[in-house]
Amino acid sequence: MEHADIRYLESKQSVDDRSRAESVKTELFRALPTAARIVEVGSGTGQTVPWLLECRVTDGSYLGIEQSSHLVTHSRSVLPKLLRRQGYAVATNDDGSTRVADLTVRLHSG
């Protein structure tokens, strides 16, 4: 989806948040191991990362894969700023990944 509209994806975040069933979320995080390796295909603007942190997933790795290189570039720029505004200490690793707590965040197009 190379034509992805960033404003649309960000504006629908509140709908996405409401669509998550609490029972599914509970089971997901109960089954998730410590230092989980999470891969999301179709990561859009990377909004799963703040949600994971909010759900106390602060250890392991997250790999977001998005077809649109435009969205990946946007996410790499905006996501660290968003996380800092939310009070997280964010560092950029030498390989270009982002570190939040003990969670390594990588965003790639593919």
| CA angle (40 as vertex; 3, 65 as ends), nearest 5 | 45
pLDDT, tens digit only, all 110 positions of the chain = 444 577 766 766 666 666 778 888 888 888 999 899 999 999 988 999 999 999 899 999 999 999 999 999 999 999 999 999 999 999 999 998 999 999 999 999 99
What global pTM score does this model have? 0.82
State residue 21's pLDDT score: 80
State residue 82's pLDDT score: 94
DSSP 36: E
Q: Which of 5, 3, 6 is nearest to 75 (CA)?
A: 6
